[in-house]
Amino acid sequence: MNDFEETGLLVRGVEIGDRASYVDLFVPSHLTRTSQVPELKQNILRMFPSIVDHQCDNDRKVDFVEELTDTEIAHVFEHVLIEIIGQEDELAVSLKAQTIWNWRLNPRWTYQIEVDYANEDIFLRSVVKTAKVLREMIEYCTFVNPVS
């Protein structure tokens, strides 16, 4: 059983490079945006209070707390992953990451999360922990406004 079987989220793969590491994440259409899971924002902020300090480069030019209201679930995965890496490795400060997708090349609803971090053991542990935390949070939320 994968970490996201209950919610439909699936970590399809992880790659560790010399300077950056990558996660391929599948997010089903009923769970693509945080606006579909309104309680998620509160849960994230409660469990990871320092996430309010994250810098976030987004189309709306808002901070990450505001972005949490309506952003991709994969984007949330990115920020929670950064937060957990920071908890696991005190030297990992100011990590840069991005969530990208290209559904012409990859299956629809598949996202690539790139993190400028290359410690294999900590990265793999952090991906597993991020998956577990988000799965548990999402499991108990009410879904609204499915996107197709």
3-state secondary structure of 45: helix
CB 80 within 8 A of CB 134: yes
Considering the domain boundaries, does residue 35 fall inside one? yes
Question: Does residue 143 register a pLDDT over 80?
Answer: no
Considering the domain boundaries, does residue 4 fall inside one? no
CB 110 within 8 A of CB 103: yes
Question: Does residue 29 register a pLDDT over 60?
Answer: yes
- Domain range for 112 is 10-137
Considering the domain boundaries, does residue 62 fall inside one? yes
Considering the domain boundaries, does residue 146 fall inside one? no
Question: Does residue 148 register a pLDDT over 80?
Answer: no
How many separate domains does the chain show?
Answer: 1
Mean pLDDT, the chain, whole residue set: 88
Please report the DSSP string for 42-73 in residue order: HHHHHH-GGGGG-----TT---HHHHTTS-BH
Considering the domain boundaries, does residue 53 fall inside one? yes
∠ CA 14-15-21, rounded to 5°: 105
Give the total residue count for the chain: 148
Q: Closest Cα partner for 113 from 137, 97, 102, 136? A: 97
Considering the domain boundaries, does residue 144 fall inside one? no
pLDDT of residue 145: 57
pLDDT of residue 146: 53
3-state secondary structure of 26: strand
Q: What is the pLDDT of residues 84-98, one digit of tens each?
A: 999 999 888 789 999
Considering the domain boundaries, does residue 148 fall inside one? no
Considering the domain boundaries, does residue 143 fall inside one? no
pLDDT tier for residue 1 given thresholds of 50, 70 and 90: very low
